[in-house]
A and B are shown apart, each in its own frame.
Chain A
Amino acid sequence: MESSTIKIILEVFHYLFFICSFLAILSYILLSIISARETIEYVKKNSFVNYKHILSSPISPSITIIAPAYNESLNVVENVRSLLSNHYPNYNVIIVNDGSSDDSLEKLIEAYDLEYVDYEVDEKVKTQPFRKGVFKSKNPAFEKLIVVDKENGGKADALNMGLNISDSKYVACIDVDCLLLEDALQKMIKPFLEATDHKVIAAGGVIRIANSCVIKGGKLIEVNLPKNLLVQAQILEYLRAFLLGRMAWSRLNGLLVISGAFGIFDKYIALEVGGYDTNTVGEDMEIIVRMRRHMEEKNEKYKVAYIPDPLCWTEAPDNYKTLISQRNRWTRGTIETLRKHRKIAFNKNYGKFGLISYPYWLIFERLAPIIELVGLLYFGILIAFNLVHWEYAVLFIALAYLFSVLFSLVALFSEELTYNQYKKKGVGIKLILLCIIEPIILHPVILYAAIRGNIDYYFNKTKKWGAMERKGMSSGETN
């Protein structure tokens, strides 16, 4: 190849990267501004909401919490207690024991005084069959609890079983190891009931990281910043994603995912679209995209709502191995969902959904790691051919780094001014330092995991069918 051709190719790359970075930075700035405005509005609106009123209302709509459990024997009793102590007048809890091979069921039977009840399930969505069937408590204090023991079928299948059994208008799908705050259901149901000119099909909550927090009797007693740097970095990442990213997207009604760890759905619509897809590892994202698509096709006005209060707390991976496998799975979930619904992309029939949300997700979530990898390879080639203009390179890297620090700091600011969860003395300075080192400790790992996810998706056949690979439960998506 002639050197002039190489030059042209390099030039093109230059511009492509420049445009990509510029768009990314621009989108982040826009999202920050939108989220700031939305947050202020939200705080103002909720400063005088008296949740006591809906709490005591005898006509508040029914909600079912569906929590799939797979080999959770260690904590299941405690976790169920937390689910049962929500302050909402009209709800029940379905624990779906998804073919666990441990003694989860026995422990639940013992702790909650359960007995077998004959139950005929109306199979609105096809699922794996019962194993031991349905159990309820003999103790009226635990009347809200239903435990279902079924054959293993994966998280989506377990959730579908819950959808079949629930007799409520709304379902809250959560991970059993999540800790819900007591006012979680009240706050999450509000957007459904407040809508007048559109229908709210689902509402997502914030996921907060519970590592090192003190939890007793199913209640969060004390919020702590964990010592583990990897977990700390994820806290910052979650703050950015939830306080800035999702807040803004909810304002634009462009949320494509609500965390599998905690979300509420209009059950009727969730069943109308056929429940969760059991053939993907990203069932939490997939069902939202499918529900949105359904509403767009029916031409009905709808919204996916979002509640920024810290209502759901969960353990984050505290080692590289688990973190990488989690992110690997999220990447595959995203690819699967976007591919399955690629018809939406740039399709004006789907309105903003097709023209903004989907493409944004495609470029900044799905393709970003690949673009970055190509960039790195390109940089490597430049070094190899000794073509690097170091002053450009250094400045470019500095810009990228500083921008990510800046963005983290903005997220932190938003946290301090709104929910201020990390109140302990001395934590403030740690969080600031964290903003400075986070891009170095977390970002490379996430990039690596995302690339691995891509490789596994396209080349690793045994992993391709997510549902076959892992029958266990997974925490939800955050970004």
Chain B
Amino acid sequence: MMKRHKIVLAEDNSTLSLLLKYKLEKEGYELLIAADGKQAIDLVESYNPDLILTDIMMPYFSGLEVISHVRNKLKKKTPIVVFSSAGQEDMVLKAFSLGASDFMTKPFSPNELVIRIKRLFSEFKTIG
């Protein structure tokens, strides 16, 4: 049997977290939920996920810092998708320059997220 992909989701809106967890678990992924950037970093360090989904604006550590930590401190190439709100275009640019793989602007459609995640995994497989 194929190993289930592990995904860390960092999001401070608990309802959205729950919603995405259901959705992605239905798609066959294993979800680890963090309510803030600090928890996200802890989860990434201890579980070594295959993908990271992170909101940009979060308590403690922002999404940008999560990316920076994963890329610079942990030296990992794990794909990272950031969620931004409208009007945070420069944040998104910064996220990309720090090494984000993709972004989605809130409000977004969970279905679209699933498609993007699938695509990322297939791309990552062919490259990796």
Direct touching of A and B (C-beta under 8 Å): yes
Query: Which of these binds chain B: A7-15, A53-61, A234-242, A371-379?
Result: A53-61
Question: What is the CB-to-nearest-CB distance from B96 to chain A, in angstroms, rounded to a whole number?
Answer: 10
* Chain A contact patch, size range: 10 to 19
Q: In this assembly, does A394 line the interface, its C-beta being within 8 Å of a C-beta of chain B? A: no
A141 engages B87 (CB within 8 Å):
no
User: Considering the complex, which residues of chain A in the window 178-205 have a beta carbon less than 8 Å from any beta carbon of chain B?
Assistant: 182
Stretch touching chain A among B19-27, B56-64, B74-82, B114-122: B56-64
**B97 touches A (CB below 8 Å):** yes
Query: Given A139-B68, A140-B94, does the pair A89, B61 have CB atoms closer than 8 Å?
Result: no
Evaluate contact between A141 and B94: CB separation under 8 angstroms: yes
Distance in angstroms from A141 CB to nearest chain B CB is 5
Q: Does A471 belong to the interface (CB within 8 Å)?
A: no
Q: Which B residues lie within 8 Å of A218 (CB)?
A: 60
Given contacts A140-B98, A141-B68, contact A89 B87 (CB under 8 A): yes
Task: Please give, as numbers and ranges, the residues of chain B lying within 8 Å of A216 by CB-CB distance.
Answer: 38, 60
Of B38, B94, B97, which contacts A217 at CB under 8 A?
Answer: B38
B31 shortest CB reach to chain A, Å: 24
Bound: A186/B9 CA distance, A? 26
Q: A87-B57, A217-B60, A219-B60 are in contact. Are A141 and B89 (CB under 8 A)?
A: no
Taking a contact as CB atoms under 8 Å apart, the answer to whether A56 and B98 are in contact is no
In the complex, per-residue mask of B1-21: 1 if CB is within 8 Å of any chain A CB, else 0:
000000000000000000000
- Tell me if A143 is interfacial: C-beta within 8 Å of chain B: yes
Cross-chain contact of B94 among A52, A55, A56, A143 (Cβ < 8 A):
A143
Nearest Cβ on chain B to A184's Cβ, whole angstroms = 13
**Which residues does chain B contribute within 8 Å of A85, judged by CB atoms?**
59-62
Q: A140 with B97: in contact, given A87-B57, A216-B60, A217-B38 (CB under 8 Å)? A: yes
Interface range on chain B (Cβ under 8 Å from partner): 10 to 19
Mask, B30-66, CB within 8 Å of A = 1, is 0000000010000000000000000001011110110
Known: A141-B65, A182-B59, A216-B60. A58 touches B89 (CB 8 A): yes
A56 pairs with B60, CB closer than 8 A: no
A141–B98 touching, CB < 8 Å: yes
Asked if residues A56 and B87 are in contact (CB atoms below 8 Å), the reply is: yes
Within the complex, what minimum Cβ distance (angstroms) separates A83 from chain B? 13
A322 to B29, CA, bound (A): 57
Give the distance in Å from the alpha carbon of A140 to the alpha carbon of B68 in the complex: 9
Determine which residue in A139, A141, A216 has the highest number of CB atoms from chain B within 10 A of its CB, and name it.
A141
Q: How far is the CB of A61 from chain B (nearest CB, A)?
A: 13
A217 to B66, CA, bound (A): 13
In angstroms, Cα B62 to Cα A89, docked, is 13
| B61 contact set on A, CB distance < 8 A | 85, 217
Which residues in window 72-121 of B have CB below 8 A to A?
A: 85-89, 94, 97-98
Whether B68 contacts A89 by the Cβ 8 Å rule is no
Chain A 136-164 interface mask (CB, 8 Å, partner B; 1/0): 00011101000000000000000000000
Q: How far is the CA of A216 from the CA of B59 in the complex (A)?
A: 11
CB–CB B87/A58 < 8 A: yes
Of all chain B residues, the one with the shortest Cβ separation from A60 is B87
What residues on B are CB-neighbors of A56 within 8 Å? 85-88
A316 CA to B33 CA in the complex, in Å? 37
Name the A residues within 8 Å of B88 (CB-CB). 56, 89
Interface membership of chain A positions 295-310, coded 1 if the CB is closer than 8 angstroms to chain B and 0 otherwise: 0000000000000000
Contacts of B94 in A (CB 8 A): 140-141, 143
Bound CA span A73–B67, Å: 27
Given A55-B85, A89-B88, A141-B68, 6 additional A-B pairs, CB 8 A: A52-B85, A56-B86, A58-B89, A141-B98, A216-B38, A216-B60
Tell me the B residues contacting A by CB distance below 8 Å. Answer: 38, 57, 59-62, 64-65, 67-68, 85-89, 94, 97-98
Residue positions of A touching B, CB distance < 8 A: 52, 55-58, 85, 87, 89, 139-141, 143, 182, 216-219
What are 25 A-B pairs with beta-carbon distances under 8 A?
Answer: A52-B85, A55-B57, A55-B85, A55-B87, A56-B85, A56-B86, A56-B87, A57-B87, A58-B89, A85-B61, A85-B62, A89-B88, A139-B68, A140-B64, A140-B97, A141-B65, A141-B67, A141-B68, A141-B98, A143-B94, A182-B59, A216-B60, A217-B38, A217-B60, A218-B60
